[in-house]
Structures are given as C-alpha cells and as structure tokens.
A and B are shown apart, each in its own frame.
Chain A
Amino acid sequence: MERWALVSGLRGDLDLYEQIQSDLQKRRGTAHLFVLGDMIGPHPKCDALLKRLRQPKRGDLHPHCIYGWLEEQLLSLYGYRGEAKADELQLQSDDSGVQQLRQAVDTEHLNWLASLQFGLIELDCGLIHGSSADVGDELQETTSPLILLDRLTRLDVNRLFTARSGRQFRLQLTGGQIRSRVKDHASEQLHEQPVPKRSVIGVGSGANYTLYDPASDHIEFLSVASRSGASNRIKGFQR
C-alpha cells in the first residue's frame, strides 16, 4: 500500500505547492495527495494555485481537495453559505484582509470551491480541515482527550487527520475507561466502556506537511523551506 501526503494551509502560495510536489517526487512511494483546505489566501499567486489544483501539470501528484476555514469564509462572503458576510474572518482580520482575500480569488473558482467536500473517509481514517463538529475546530495535542475522542466518535473513524490548528502531532488514545449507570422506569444497567484505541493526527500547515503509511500506520512529519510568506504577514491569515 502506498503512502498518503497530507497538506493544508497553502493560502494561495503556488511556489510552496510546487516545492511540496517536488519534495514528494523525490520521496518515492507516495500515491495520494490530500489537500485539507485553506488553499486560498491573500497571495498574488492564489489564482494560479487554484488553476493548478484543478488542472494538475503532468508529473504532479493528483491532489484530492476538501474545503477549509478560509474557503468557508470566502463562500460566505459571496453568499454561498448563509448571509453574504464572513463574520469570523472579519473578527480575526480586518476590512482590508477580507478585501484582499476576495481580490485574490477569481470568481470563476467559486463553484469549484463550493463543490468541495467537507471531509473524506479513506479506509478507517477521517480527513478533515477542522473536525466533524466544525470546519474551524482547532484540534491540537493539548486539546482535552475527551473532546478528541468525541470528534473521533462522531466520524466513527480510528484515525482523524486534522489541519486547522496548523500543528503537527499524533495523539494516541492508549487506555482508560468510564462507568455508565442508566436507570429508567423499568430497569437499571451498569456498563463499563473502555477507551477505544484511536488517534488524532495534526498534519501541519503551509510548509509543514505529513506522510502517512496506512499499511504500517507510520507517520512522518516533514517540512519544506518556504520561499515566500506573503499571506502569512497579513493579519488574520497567520498560522
């Protein structure tokens, strides 16, 4: 079985995407590339990146894209989701940040962005930008294990790959239990439930990405040297 590459937070940076593609070509045995959202950002090459993702160059590892928090915000701005405004981005950024995001993405891409899925299930793994609770859910290694277990349970997967926090980590649930006593009008039941052996994996963001081997369950956290950080200098787009 061949490995998966998990990428997120390109934020319109075509050069960075090309670096990752080039890095993957050097590392043989990677068959699938998953881009877990935040492809767009206020970057001069955002439009070119979207074109490349939609129409990969010969030799590119074909990307499977899902939408992320920034796509959700942009689609909200254009009225694809709710009321034609992006409150969360407005809070984190300002008017100029919102405007720059709008200007960076040609409207010809909106239908494609709106057609992307919220998440993917591959084998027993969930691939998602935030979590099944919310695209903006920032899961990290310090998040309460109770919340992480809940997010795994909601998707009913053994491994949850998440990108929103930008962190690279693997948190494995290794043991524990809980006692449940249910009393209704007719009976009383006592039940002990063990913690299932499941994991949450933060795939990183931008220049930090992750390789996963489903056959061996091996995780490798990788980085490419980012040549540009244009989008990361704008308020609300740091990660």
Chain B
Amino acid sequence: MTMSHAVISCLHANLAACEAVLADIDQQGIDTITCLGDLVGYGPQPNEVIELVRERSIPTCQGCWDEDIIDGLNACECSYPSQLAERRGHRAHHWAAERITEDNKVFLASLPMTLRRDRLLFVHGSPNSQHEYLLPDMSAFAALERVETAGAETLFCGHTHQPYVRELSEGSIRVSVQTNGNHSDSEQEMTLPMRRIVNAGSVGEPRHGSTKATYVVHDDDSGAVSVREVEYDVSKTCRAIVEAGLPEVFAWRLSHGFEYAERAEDASHVCER
C-alpha cells in the first residue's frame, strides 16, 4: 500500500469548501494532511474553520492573513492594486479580527512559519516570507534558489490560489571570476540540482478559473503529485459572505473562481515593512 498525504492551503474561512475537501481526502483513505495556512480572511466562518483544523489536529503553518490577525496590518500597500482594493482588504481584516475568539487567536499565533518532513518543506508563500508569491512564471533560477537555499527537494506552497507543479531540472551556471591581484579570470561551472515547487492552490478561495476547491496529493513513495478539484456548495458561502456584511466582491469572485480586483501589480515584490 502506498503512503499518500494531502496538502491543503488558503482555507479562507470558507467552511463548506473545507468540509468538502476533508471529506474528499477521507474518501481516499488519506490520513496525513498538512495545511499551508490562511485559515481566515475573505470568508464568513473564521472561527469554524480554525476549530475544524484544530479538531482534526492538522499540522499547519502560518499564512499571511493569520499573521496579520496576530501582528496587525503590517504589510505595505504594495499588496493591493488600488486604494479601493486595499480598503476592502482592511475591512475584511477588521471584520475577522473582531470576531475571532481569543483562544483561536492564540492558536494562530502559535503556528510555525514552516513545517518540514525530511526533504519536503511546507510554507505559505515562500521560505522567505508569508507574503511572497511564488508564481509559476517567476524566474526559474529565482524559484530554484528559494527551494535550494531552504535545503529542500520539494517545496509546498500556497498563497497564489492557483495550483501547479513546477519541476526545475538540467540547470547549470557558468561564471568567470576576477579578483584583486589576480589578473587572469578563472572559469567555473556549477551544476544545479533538480528541485520541485508544488502549489496547493486554494480550498476556500480558488482563483484558477474554476469555482472548485483545490488541493494536492503527494505520493510519498513515488513522489508523484496530483492536483485535486472538489465541488462544494459555493452559493452557500456566497450568501454567508453577503449576510455577514463582508464586501460583496468576495462573493462575486468566489462564484467566478478567477483573479479579479485583488491582484498585486508586482506579485514578486516582497513586503519588508
């Protein structure tokens, strides 16, 4: 029997999506789950989702929304494409911060930045920051640097809400070095290792062109990764968003499943504030 484990991310207070994904995982007989954070934000059921994760004792790392609830809004306006989008984001943050129980806040504060199992590393955004986007089209060398510097073979991340598996292979870099006092340049070549980035997509706020919740399954024996899409009652969560008084655009986006209105202009920017 092969050992598989499921990786989920970006649950975003969407209880219906979380329950559907966990049911799908259970149905496959997978009992090892890792969560890449963002339990809250955007959605209407932050406490319910946190408590579900706690009940199931799912190892979880801290996402950017989880961090902001604990540390306060500390990212700069670079995260938002417009002042309108920023105001919406801040409104959602304050809504969640007011409703999440103290006990659940303590739990969010206790979450680690990264989780590691052998050569598998689990993060929310990147090993550098919960706010950094590892997009599928970012420089392949920069992507490899994130995995290699963190000492991992496969890096699992979320944050972009778009699932993908990226294999980086057959790499090499040639350099010529000149130093003070040494007038002849020395030539060197470095062979780069093969590494992978696996983005788990989003359970609670998919933006990959479909409304289905996504997660990934990793076969621990073969290393194979499959992206799973799960249908759930989207309209139920959309209604709850509107009834809760959250910005209606969140419900609109959930019912379309694609990026709109919230994408940072420079997604590769790492907020250092």
- A115 touches B (CB below 8 Å): no
Q: Are B180 and A145 in contact (CB under 8 A)?
A: no
Residues of A209-232 contacting chain B, CB below 8 A: 219, 221, 223
Residue interface bits B65-80, CB-to-A below 8 A is 1, else 0: 0000000000000000
Which residues of B have CB within 8 Å of A123? Answer: none
- How far is A223 from B144 in the complex, measured between Cα atoms in Å? 37
Residue positions of A touching B, CB distance < 8 A: 133, 141, 144-147, 149-150, 153-154, 167-186, 191, 193, 195, 204, 208, 219, 221, 223
- B164 touches A (CB below 8 Å): yes
Which residues of A have CB within 8 Å of B167? Answer: 179-181
Query: Chain A: interface secondary structure?
Result: strand
Q: Are A176 and B176 in contact (CB under 8 A)?
A: no
- How far is A170 from B137 in the complex, measured between Cα atoms in Å? 29
Q: Are A184 and B227 in contact (CB under 8 A)?
A: yes
- How far is A182 from B192 in the complex, measured between Cα atoms in Å? 18
- B101 touches A (CB below 8 Å): no
Which residues of A have CB within 8 Å of B2? Answer: none
Number of inter-chain CB pairs below 8 Å: 123
Which residues of A have CB within 8 Å of B128? Answer: 133
Q: Are A145 and B136 in contact (CB under 8 A)?
A: no
- B57 touches A (CB below 8 Å): no
Which residues of B have CB within 8 Å of A195? Answer: 141, 173-174
The residue in chain A whose Cβ has the minimal distance to the Cβ of B182 is: A169
Knowing that A171-B176, A178-B170, A185-B163 are A-B contacts, what are 11 other residue pairs whose CB atoms are under 8 Å apart, sorted by A's residue number? A167-B179, A168-B179, A169-B179, A172-B177, A172-B185, A174-B174, A179-B167, A184-B136, A185-B210, A195-B141, A195-B174
The residue in chain B whose Cβ has the minimal distance to the Cβ of A221 is: B180
Of B168, B172, B177, which one neighbours A171 at CB under 8 angstroms?
Answer: B177
Q: A169-B180, A171-B175 are known contacts. Are A181 and B227 too (CB-CB below 8 A)?
A: no
Residue interface bits B129-168, CB-to-A below 8 A is 1, else 0: 0000000110111111100110000000000001111111
Q: A141-B177, A168-B180, A173-B174 are known contacts. Are A183 and B142 too (CB-CB below 8 A)?
A: no
Which residues of B have CB within 8 Å of A144? Answer: 190
Q: Are B164 and A184 in contact (CB under 8 A)?
A: yes
Of A174, A179, A182, A191, which one neighbours B175 at CB under 8 angstroms?
Answer: A174
Q: Are B175 and A172 in contact (CB under 8 A)?
A: yes
Of B148, B149, B174, B209, which one neighbours A175 at CB under 8 angstroms?
Answer: B174
Nearest Cβ on chain B to A28's Cβ, whole angstroms: 22
- How far is A43 from B192 in the complex, measured between Cα atoms in Å? 45
- B103 touches A (CB below 8 Å): no
- How far is A183 from B166 in the complex, measured between Cα atoms in Å? 6
